[in-house]
Structure 1
Amino acid sequence: MTEFIEHWIAGASVAGDAERSGPVYNPALGTEQRRVRFASTADVDAAVEAAAQAFPGWRDTSIARRQQVMFKFRELLAGRTGELAAILTSEHGKVLADAAGEIARGLEVVELACAMPAYTKGEYSENVSTGIDVYTLRQPVGVVGIISPFNFPAMVPLWFFPLAIATGNTVVLKPSEKDPSAAVWLAKLLQEAGLPDGVLNVVHGDKVAVDALLHHPTVRSISFVGSTPIAQYIYATATANGKRVQALGGAKNHMLVLPDADLDLAADAAVNAGFGSAGERCMAISAVLAVEQVADEFVAKVAERMSRLTTGDGTRGTDMGPLITREHRDKVAGYLDIATADGASLVVDGRGAEVDGDPNGFWLAPTLVDRVPTTSSVYRDEIFGPVLSVVRVSGYEEGLEIINSSRYGNGTAIFTNDGGAARRFQREVTVGMVGINVPIPVPVAYHSFGGWKDSLFGDAKAYGARGFDFYTQEKAITSRWLDPSHGGLNLGFPQHD
């Protein structure tokens, strides 16, 4: 009998009324392991209605009690990381160690959510005019929608809903239909932590569910992570419907290697950042700009390190797992023929490599392409797979010009031992997140995540102080009291409730 992954609405599993469903694969086996219900517009309406009904009570719940739920959720999540990591590996394919790392980065934002009172305090100005005070409050916006991608089925939702919930909002989450189980697992864990029913709801599906959220008049904001074309669509549609939007788009992240760099460190970094999670990261290094005088040595060091990597089933202790679907694997592999046709050199070909796993899995081993021309789609496109391209440049100036000419501005890195060059790079590069001898410059939770140019659309970056700003709205109050009031006597120690 086929197992179905159901929606989670008002604290319970709901099949909904949609007749459509989609396959959920085990990418390491290449087989369908269960199916996921696709929400109809009516199903999304039911989830939004549940969130709307839960909002007044949750909004009025004290900060202290909301914190207690977040603290409990944090402890439950930290104690059951292995259980969630196994779910991620079975549906996404990433190795268990990478899955655990994804959860750890999401856990940082849960911990940040526990500090919500410090980030949402208002301001107070006394006696701005005789007997008049002005102060501000930060209040929740209402029902919020979150649309998350397949590549981080736990971390990306955890970037958003803990802050949204901690600040008093209610949520409808639409995870990727390719690996949806993590979202329901997290919702159930929050229920165990004491979150009232209806505060976090999960609906599955495709564009029908997405459009229903974008057009629903009760949904006040949309948070999204995904490819740039979809981010542009999300931003345009949601803003046209009067919503505030944070839409994080695609990337083509560059790593500039200068001649004075520690080439061993740079080679390690390129391999780690290029092939972790099978390259299915918006912060993956996919293009290395190597200065010509050290390019041969650098490429040789990268190729040698790649020869030590193992590809296979993520439960077996391999270094890299499969890609998410057969179609995506074939699309990524197709770029290798384009590379050779465009005059690039295929140094390491991951097609047909020996893997530690079922032959039907969606395998493409780490691949290295050298001398990639910037006119090639191998350079221009966000391939989103384990393909590392090397573009040879004459020096710092040409490398910087190539990076700044890219339509994307998500992440970048420079490897150098020259402090002056690093300082100049961080100032001159037109990219939102910059690493100096750090290949994946994802900010910690109390700094915000987001790129520039076609890598970010909307009103705010993710998490950090900007995340709290996004999920709250400021109210300014001008007050005058003509007579003082008396609250009576109470010698007990003040308590918060």
Structure 2
Amino acid sequence: MREINHFIGGASFTGASGRFSDVFNPNTGEVQARVQLATAAEMDRAVQTAQDAFDGWSSTNPQRRARVMFEFKRLVEANMDELAAMLSAEHGKVIADAKGDVMRGLDVIEFACGIPHALKGEYTWGAGPGIDVYSMRQPLGVVAGITPFNFPAMIPMWMFGVAIAVGNTFILKPSERDPSVPVRLGELMIEAGAPAGVLNVVHGDKTAVDAILTHPKVHAVSFVGSSDIAHYVYQMGAQHGKRVQAMGGAKNHGIVLPDADMDQVIKDLSGAAFGSAGERCMALPVVVPVGKRTADELRERMVAEIPRLKVGVSTDPDAHYGPVVTAAHRAKVAGWIEKGVQEGAELVVDGRDFSLQGHENGYFMGPSLFDNVTPEMESYKEEIFGPVLQIVRAASFEEALHLPSRHQYGNGVAIFTQNGRAARDFAARVNVGMVGINVPIPVPVAYHTFGGWKRSAFGDTNQHGMEGVKFWTKVKTVTARWPDSELEHADSSFVIPTMQ
């Protein structure tokens, strides 16, 4: 049985905990490897290794750090096929989607290549008599990222790309469900020229997470996962004096106005609701058609579209999506479908009994479609995270606007319309962090920033872009005076300095 080790100090590290987690092949249901689970002592070893590397890396000038990021980007691109195949085999994403996972992470690495410009501070000459004031952004020290199973390449690169580029050293605790790609990224970072200890990958469960959150030498933690755990990470990290950004769950809505291009809406909904088996925090699992006529047409056309979707093994180039990640997750999604039925929602298309010939033990689910879902239902309130689309009918624009605005999650939302005024009004008023206008999955480009509102995010700083630079650095402001030695010294002053 293949064992997946930690990656500490630029090399594979075999832990001694004696605890492991199985890594499954979602296409077959078979155990394909097992990954080590770290002890607190092993996490401490990784943190100390990162601490030892910090002084040298943080004192490396930004341009040289950027050159490492350039080379890392080149190496990831050169190894794209290997990374996509590795990711697909453990997660279950189809190869094309796996490559998209890697590419969206590389977008942030590309942003990080420009870090010398992003680190420039502010300067005021002559703020007072012979006084200049300037600021600088400096790295925090050892920092950490705790990442989920659904994007094992993208989200780690979102975190460590900016964090390392600004001069920090990094501990990555990836999901134990698909840990191979993060380790490979660590190897490529060393190959790109980063010193040993700059990027370390430590596998684990709650023991490893708590070791990060309580370690006195870890100064900042970025997390992506479910909202309950995000809240725990935020509270525990803050309690131990750390800077924390913790991204949680989502229930993204797609508002469809009567004037929307329904042909495009159906295509967008199919991809956004069912792509990657719905295992995306920016998926679109709720569609809100405005008016009965719009709702009836949308339902009819989705019922016709769903049979055209092909569910297949992750290596099938014709498959639209593959299996979900584990048997437990498949059972959880099926449980939410049953819950929706019990609550009175109309199950129009039931994907629970889907079975792929020759892969009957794989974790496959067909697309499911609900209609007449209401805001009071638990299946509407909570994140299902599977290939399930719920139709919630709205009688008016205002009712449609209020649904995502009042929901406990506020990650993303989309509106489909040809009315610019309605779209502009919606974008300004909706109580959600990221908005798409005729864009079903509004994940911002890397030089902007990613983050939701309400229970979708804890902390006040978002991922990547300049928000990421702010999160992974601290500001130092210098006030300097260079007096003329020929002038008389000023008398002592016992009042606060002013510009008067």
Q: What is the TM-score normalised by the length of structure 1?
A: 0.96
Q: Which amino acid aligns with 2:345?
A: A
Q: Paired residue for 2:343?
A: 342
Aligned counterparts of 1:85 and 1:94: Cα–Cα separation in 2: 9
Q: Which amino acid aligns with 2:426?
A: F
Which range moved further: 193-202 or 262-271? 262-271
Indicate the SS of the match to 1:179: coil
Q: Paired residue for 1:417?
A: 418
Q: Paired residue for 1:364?
A: 365
Can you list the C-alpha shifts for 1:203-230, whole angstroms capped at 9, x where unaligned? 0010000000000000000000011000
Task: Check conservation: 1:342, 1:373, Cα contact below 8 A.
Answer: no
Q: Paired residue for 1:475?
A: 476
Does residue 218 of structure 2 align to residue 226 of structure 1? Answer: no
Q: Paired residue for 1:329?
A: 330
Indicate the SS of the match to 1:100: helix
Q: Paired residue for 2:276?
A: 277
Q: Paired residue for 1:261?
A: 260
Q: Paired residue for 2:152?
A: 153
1:483 Cα deviation after fit: 6.3
1:101 Cα deviation after fit: 0.7
Alpha carbon RMSD of aligned pairs, Å? 1.1
Task: Check conservation: 1:58, 1:169, Cα contact below 8 A.
Answer: yes
Q: Which amino acid aligns with 1:358?
A: H
Task: Check conservation: 2:54, 2:169, Cα contact below 8 A.
Answer: yes
Task: Check conservation: 2:139, 2:472, Cα contact below 8 A.
Answer: yes
Aligned counterparts of 1:225 and 1:394: Cα–Cα separation in 2: 35
Q: Paired residue for 1:251?
A: 250
Aligned counterparts of 1:20 and 1:218: Cα–Cα separation in 2: 25
Indicate the SS of the match to 1:61: coil
Does residue 313 of structure 2 align to residue 313 of structure 1? Answer: yes
Q: Paired residue for 1:198?
A: 197
1:127 Cα deviation after fit: 1.3
Q: Which amino acid aligns with 2:308?
A: R
Does residue 151 of structure 2 align to residue 132 of structure 1? Answer: no
Structure 1 residues 428 and 459: alpha-carbon distance in aligned structure 2, compared to 1, 3 A threshold: closer
**Aligned counterparts, 1:168-179, within 5 A:** 168-179=167-178
Aligned counterparts of 1:483 and 1:445: Cα–Cα separation in 2: 48
Task: Check conservation: 1:28, 1:357, Cα contact below 8 A.
Answer: no
1:353 Cα deviation after fit: 2.3
Task: Check conservation: 2:333, 2:386, Cα contact below 8 A.
Answer: yes
Structure 1 residues 316 and 474: alpha-carbon distance in aligned structure 2, compared to 1, 3 A threshold: same
Q: Which amino acid aligns with 1:435?
A: G
Task: Check conservation: 1:271, 1:306, Cα contact below 8 A.
Answer: yes
Q: Which amino acid aligns with 2:50?
A: A
Can you list the C-alpha shifts for 1:392-438, whole angstroms capped at 9, x where unaligned? 11011111111111011000001111111111100110000000111
Aligned counterparts of 2:46 and 2:336: Cα–Cα separation in 1: 40
1:354 Cα deviation after fit: 4.5
Q: Paired residue for 1:437?
A: 438
Structure 1 residues 101 and 246: alpha-carbon distance in aligned structure 2, compared to 1, 3 A threshold: same
Aligned counterparts of 2:73 and 2:355: Cα–Cα separation in 1: 40
Q: Paired residue for 2:76?
A: 77
Aligned counterparts of 2:123 and 2:429: Cα–Cα separation in 1: 38
Task: Check conservation: 1:138, 1:475, Cα contact below 8 A.
Answer: yes
Indicate the SS of the match to 2:380: helix
Task: Check conservation: 2:355, 2:364, Cα contact below 8 A.
Answer: no
1:194 Cα deviation after fit: 0.6
Indicate the SS of the match to 2:392: strand
1:65 Cα deviation after fit: 1.3
Task: Check conservation: 1:310, 1:320, Cα contact below 8 A.
Answer: yes
Indicate the SS of the match to 1:54: helix
Can you list the C-alpha shifts for 1:124-173, whole angstroms capped at 9, x where unaligned? 11111111111111110000010000000000001010101100000000
Can you list the C-alpha shifts for 1:294-351, whole angstroms capped at 9, x where unaligned? 1111111122221111112110121110011101101101222222222222121112
Q: Paired residue for 1:6?
A: 5
Can you list the C-alpha shifts for 1:337-370, whole angstroms capped at 9, x where unaligned? 2222222221211122243651100111111111
Tell me how many residue pairs correspond in the alignment. 483
Q: Which amino acid aligns with 1:113?
A: A
Give the share of equivalent positions with the same residue, in percent. 53
Aligned counterparts of 1:144 and 1:224: Cα–Cα separation in 2: 12
Aligned counterparts of 1:96 and 1:411: Cα–Cα separation in 2: 25
Can you list the C-alpha shifts for 1:59-89, whole angstroms capped at 9, x where unaligned? 1111121111011001111121111000110
Aligned counterparts of 2:180 and 2:484: Cα–Cα separation in 1: 58
Q: What is the TM-score normalised by the length of structure 2?
A: 0.95
Task: Check conservation: 1:312, 1:357, Cα contact below 8 A.
Answer: no
Aligned counterparts of 1:40 and 1:357: Cα–Cα separation in 2: 40
Q: Which amino acid aligns with 2:288?
A: L
Q: Paired residue for 1:401?
A: 402
1:443 Cα deviation after fit: 0.2
Structure 1 residues 20 and 259: alpha-carbon distance in aligned structure 2, compared to 1, 3 A threshold: same
Task: Check conservation: 1:407, 1:454, Cα contact below 8 A.
Answer: yes
Q: Paired residue for 1:301?
A: 301
Indicate the SS of the match to 1:383: coil
Q: Paired residue for 1:386?
A: 387
Indicate the SS of the match to 1:152: coil
Aligned counterparts of 2:309 and 2:177: Cα–Cα separation in 1: 26
Task: Check conservation: 2:173, 2:204, Cα contact below 8 A.
Answer: yes
Q: Paired residue for 2:464?
A: 463
Task: Check conservation: 1:312, 1:356, Cα contact below 8 A.
Answer: no
1:118 Cα deviation after fit: 1.3
Can you list the C-alpha shifts for 1:103-125, whole angstroms capped at 9, x where unaligned? 11111000000011111101111
Which range moved further: 455-464 or 337-346? 337-346
